[in-house]
């Protein structure tokens, strides 16, 4: 297997939920000489410095300070750390007949619900612990590293019409079972987490825990040409952006190169760590100022910048040709897709599309276009949300996937390599 694909699979497996995705990025940055900055501290920067900052433990922004003037601009790749799934509700333990214990969950974003049935699942996320300072509880990541839960589907014998379409209730049908012969008592999940972290259960005040599939990322196909995994949207683009940044960090660039990984894209980006917040603007302003630039230099830098908003596209599915645009069929394995929308759901225009097409050409990789079938509403992404905050020139793109928002999505190994090559071309400018 190609080394980028081996590394992608390792990255996906180490990133079961958003907190771990940001942590996986952080560890790789540290290994490559990037040092942490804190939003609360005063920053001092010089050209060539490698730095990163995290927000909420789920968004992470890395940059290599440019060696040119502070007005030279930013080359930005943006992607997101979150994926659709299920979040554990407070007071989550639910009794059921037969001594079963289920967990009460809430759907996060837009998962394809029935892909979550009948497979080993577990829990991962962040736990907040008692501290001496009430404003700053201690925080630890937790991943229960064994199959712990299952969402069993109803047997076909109770619903013979199940294969003719089956409406699902998020509250009734999707509850994971934790145990079948246990007393249902409050605090079981807290105790599981406490044991995993070797902390006193009474010190656990709250948590952000989500379900994840324990299935590992895998290549499939006659020639291992596809990759199947949860969270390819958008961790494959995070991995591609990170790989390109680390590959090019040693080379000088007049521009400041930025990898911006936001959280909460799947729910509309409206959090402090999401793309609709001013967080990226704050960081870019501070970088300009710390490199000796004025407010005018910041405006000039924004005008001279380019952003690649990297979020996966829908690959042409051979079973459903009618769902796709009649003339644009972005096929898996045929390169990253430039995403275009007449109503500006994507930031792409002919100018920014031409930039990305030329980057691909210079990198020697193919690229293709994704446009919605005109009768099918598409999704939204990061680009236009970010440009409403910062008037950046840029393109929306992404490698094509099948089954976006399934618990196991499918992409192409070649497309991942192509995307990294195009991104490296961009960060090499």
Q: Which residues of the shown chain bind Zn ion in the complex (CB under 5 A)?
A: 233-234, 311
C-beta of 423: minimal distance to Zn ion in Å?
16
C-beta of 379: minimal distance to Zn ion in Å?
8
Please report, to the nearest 10 degrees, the dihedral formed by the alpha carbons of residues 51, 54, 58, 64 taken in order. Answer: -20
CA dist 378 and 6 (Å) reads 31
C-beta of 80: minimal distance to Zn ion in Å?
6
CB nearer Zn ion, residue 93 or residue 409 = 409
Which residues, in sequence order, are CB contacts of 409 under 8 Å at separation 6+?
228, 229, 230, 231, 232, 233, 312, 401, 402, 403
C-beta of 238: minimal distance to Zn ion in Å?
10
C-beta of 82: minimal distance to Zn ion in Å?
8
Reading the block at residue 126, the tokens are 């962040």
Reading the block at residue 122, the tokens are 């577990």
Dihedral sign (CA 248, 250, 251, 255): positive
204 touches 138 (CB < 8 A): no
CB nearer Zn ion, residue 65 or residue 307 = 307
CA dist 395 and 3 (Å) reads 27
CB nearer Zn ion, residue 190 or residue 231 = 231
176 touches 121 (CB < 8 A): yes
Reading the block at residue 230, the tokens are 């949860």
CB nearer Zn ion, residue 13 or residue 311 = 311
CA dist 35 and 343 (Å) reads 40
- The angle subtended at Cα 70 by Cα 41 and Cα 311, nearest 5°, is 75
CB nearer Zn ion, residue 233 or residue 409 = 233
C-beta of 83: minimal distance to Zn ion in Å?
8
The per-residue DSSP string of 146-203 comes to S--BB-PPPPGGG-TTGGG-----TTTTTPPEEESSS---TTHHHHHHHHHHT--GGG
Reading the block at residue 115, the tokens are 């892909």
C-beta of 178: minimal distance to Zn ion in Å?
30
421 touches 247 (CB < 8 A): no
C-beta of 313: minimal distance to Zn ion in Å?
10
Closest CA to 276 of 266, 285, 286: 266
CA dist 76 and 61 (Å) reads 10
Phi-psi region of 99 (alpha: psi -120 to 50; beta: other; left: phi over 0): left
C-beta of 312: minimal distance to Zn ion in Å?
6
C-beta of 280: minimal distance to Zn ion in Å?
17
113 touches 176 (CB < 8 A): no
Reported as type and span, the H/E element at residue 69 is none
CB nearer Zn ion, residue 50 or residue 416 = 416
C-beta of 209: minimal distance to Zn ion in Å?
22
CB nearer Zn ion, residue 86 or residue 298 = 86
Closest CA to 384 of 345, 329, 340: 345
């Amino acid at each position: 297997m190609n080394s980028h694909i081996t590394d992608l699979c390792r990255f996906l497996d180490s990133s079961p939920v958003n907190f771990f995705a940001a942590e996986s990025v952080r560890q790789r940055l540290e290994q490559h000489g990037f040092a942490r900055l804190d939003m609360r501290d005063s920053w001092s920067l010089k050209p060539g410095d490698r730095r990163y900052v995290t927000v909420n433990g789920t968004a992470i922004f890395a940059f290599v300070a440019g060696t040119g003037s502070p007005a030279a601009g930013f080359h930005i790749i943006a992607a997101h750390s979150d994926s659709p799934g299920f979040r554990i509700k407070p007071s989550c333990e639910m009794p059921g007949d037969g001594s079963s214990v289920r967990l009460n969950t809430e759907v996060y974003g837009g998962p394809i619900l029935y892909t979550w049935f009948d497979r080993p699942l577990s829990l991962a996320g962040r736990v907040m612990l008692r501290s001496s300072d009430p404003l700053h509880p201690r925080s630890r990541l937790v991943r229960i590293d064994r199959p712990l839960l299952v969402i069993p589907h109803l047997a076909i014998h109770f619903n013979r019409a199940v294969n003719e379409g089956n409406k699902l209730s998020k509250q009734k049908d999707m509850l994971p079972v934790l145990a079948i012969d246990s007393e249902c008592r409050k605090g079981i999940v807290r105790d599981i987490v406490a044991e995993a972290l070797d902390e006193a259960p009474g010190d656990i005040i709250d948590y952000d825990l989500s379900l994840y599939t324990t299935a590992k990322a895998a290549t499939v196909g006659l020639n291992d040409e596809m990759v199947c995994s949860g969270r390819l949207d958008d961790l494959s683009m995070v991995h591609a952006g990170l790989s390109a940044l680390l590959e090019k960090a040693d080379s000088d660039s007049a521009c400041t190169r930025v990898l911006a990984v936001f959280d909460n894209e799947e729910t509309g980006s409206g959090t402090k760590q999401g793309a609709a917040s001013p967080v990226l603007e704050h960081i870019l302003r501070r970088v300009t100022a710390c490199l000796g630039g004025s407010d005018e230099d910041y405006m000039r830098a924004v005008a001279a910048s380019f952003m690649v908003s990297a979020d996966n596209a829908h690959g042409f599915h051979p079973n459903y040709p009618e769902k796709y645009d009649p003339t644009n069929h972005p096929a898996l394995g045929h390169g990253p897709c430039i995403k275009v929308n007449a109503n500006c759901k994507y930031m792409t225009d002919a100018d920014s599309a031409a930039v990305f097409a030329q980057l691909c050409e210079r990198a020697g990789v193919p690229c293709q276009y994704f446009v919605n079938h005109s009768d099918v509403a598409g999704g939204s992404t990061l680009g236009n949300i970010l440009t409403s905050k910062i008037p950046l020139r840029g393109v929306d793109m992404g490698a094509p996937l099948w089954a976006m928002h399934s618990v196991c999505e499918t992409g192409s190994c070649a497309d991942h390599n192509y995307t990294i090559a195009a991104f490296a071309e961009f960060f090499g400018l």
